[in-house]
Structure 1
Amino acid sequence: MYNNTFGNLFRLTSFGESHGKAIGGVIDGFPAGIVIDMDFIQQELNRRRPGQSAITTARKEADEVEFLSGIYEGVSTGCPIGFAVWNTNQHSNDYDNMKDVYRPSHADYTYTEKYGIRDHRGGGRSSARETIARVVAGALAKLALRQLGIQITAFTSQVGPYILEKDYTQYDLTRIEENSVRCPDQELAAKMADYIYKIKGEGNTIGGVISCVIKGCPIGLGQPVFGKLHAALGNAMLSINAVKGFEYGQGFGSMEQKGSEQNDIFYNENGKIALRTNRSGGIQGGISNGEDIYFRVAFKPVATVLMEQPTVDRLGNETILKARGRHDPCVLPRAVPIVEAMAAMTILDYYLLNKTTRL
């Protein structure tokens, strides 16, 4: 297996399986001299960890990170940062009935065909538990970006039929942690949570959309051909488990408009070039233009449903599977910090790359 590394100059190589001993990673290219706020890193892991509310999986994990290298007296040294998060609450027996059966819409079949072997316990390497390493690396990237005045905020904007109707600028994004769904509209968040709880009671799952806003990003990140910033963000988001789509700016929602209606018009504001609108989502020609970068990420319903479904075993015999174990009825609440982490790693990586393009 290869391609376990993300990034160019700022790089994360992750390792570990859902029911293995640990999830961890090695970070290359992290700048020296960054004060490492351990409480902040743990806070980010707490936002992702299981068992945090009635609408998430019941698996209980402390998800406490242990740093092994690259940090001395609370400050990054510029050396590779190694870390591990130890698994402590695996219920591997829950997956015994799935050992020789292919779960619908899972990676079981493709993984087995590609490698000839798979760890069926919790999905092994294909489990979303791998994203712990991304959240640790993303938290470190956020600490570096904080010194540059760059802020990244993701939030749940749709769960099934429940959708935030207004533009993100109409909401107070500082309030997303006030509810279990991580939606800035408290009234809609309550409806989303009730709906997820209802779906969970049916043994079923539901998907939706996470939106993300990046503020304070400088002009010039990205390259105009194969290194487009929006392509890098899309690659980062589409690498997350259960993600099915990515759009930035107005995206698919503006296809009925003409160019004259969609263009962002430049004007002179007190001697500075400015834009009257930001329909481009902060990126033009693959390069950041200094405006807010905003995008949306679509997540499918979790493939594991706690109800009977027809499938086949590894020999092709038709059978019925009823999954057991502890699973999220909706990934969105726990995926918010993962989206932020992947965005932070991408922006920091492209910031470091940009420093190599001009003297």
Structure 2
Amino acid sequence: MLAQYPPALQRHLREIAAALGEVVRPTALLLLGSAARGELSYLRHPDGRLELFSDYEFLAVFPSYPTRFQRRAIQTLAEQWQERIANPNPLFHIDIITRGRRHLAAMPPLIFTFESKQNGLPLHGEDVRPQIPDVTLQNLDFRNTHEILYKRLWAILLHLPKRFVLGQASEAERRVAGYVLCRNALDLTTVLLPHEGILLPTYRQRVEYLTDHYPDLELSKTFGPDLPGFLQRCLARRRDLDFSGVNLHELYATVTDSLRQALQMLLPTADPVVQALPHHSRRIFNEWPISRGEWLNLVRLLISIAQHQGLAQARRWLRTPKKGWLTVGLLAMHESLLAWFAGRPVRATEWLERSQE
């Protein structure tokens, strides 16, 4: 898989793996994410420079949970390599996830686990993929999969360049904005195809399947005839990073509306998303933690609320579904940006008021 990338990128990955192997001595190191899928996004400039739009993601496995020294060493190494690569793109970073070997078998049935097993590339030590549990349509955590939708809404807000929002974007900033929109749109297939009985590990495979079988898919009734072509264009633009002639405001409107339509599909009612989602949050999303780290964060937040607002308020906060409200808030923020781009009055508060009807 690495052979398809330019030599400089191959060298990055192999040298980072070697440095990790020497400094922290993991049992195994897997390359994850777009680089492992063969879908790394990068731009070759006329002067030969390579600009990375995708992350480098690794899973480092240790005999037991990594020590504090090992975690610090990993963080330091990632920071040093980011400086050494000196990639100018604000989207690029090096992410190194750690696991104890005995925890591999307990990885929950998430899309992350599925892709780690299917796509992970061993770069150092043992091949631990057989120890990662199988994830199938029968055991996939669908609620966690649905959460990808609000994470995409959040990622778009987080990564759209400020100057793009202000209408002052350079060519490079337009390219970043276009990539952000297309990359996040592609996860529509990640969320929706399992509801059609299809679980595939790469964007290319998902888009190809959706295109080839679209008339037979239930989701075609919601999205209409244009979705396959739209996703094909997003896949192509994510690869070639050519956004010349693309109306990015229209692309933004299409992406955010498609994410809203996907949320509508998941609801058991035809009521608008803004009204229905907070009331069906527990049905759509995981409102309780699914990992040790999430439980610890929940306990810390609960203690903090109890200390500052009292025990009764802490109990109320604990019982209240949150992710539906979070998603409605994100949709309202996108609605405000779309209104800003179109020169319409910004009425985000009206969206939030409608959600309480």
**TM-score of the superposed pair, with normalisation by structure 1:** 0.24
Higher RCO (CA 8 Å, separation ≥ 6 residues): 1
Structure with the larger strand share? 1
Point out the structure with the larger helix share.
Answer: 2
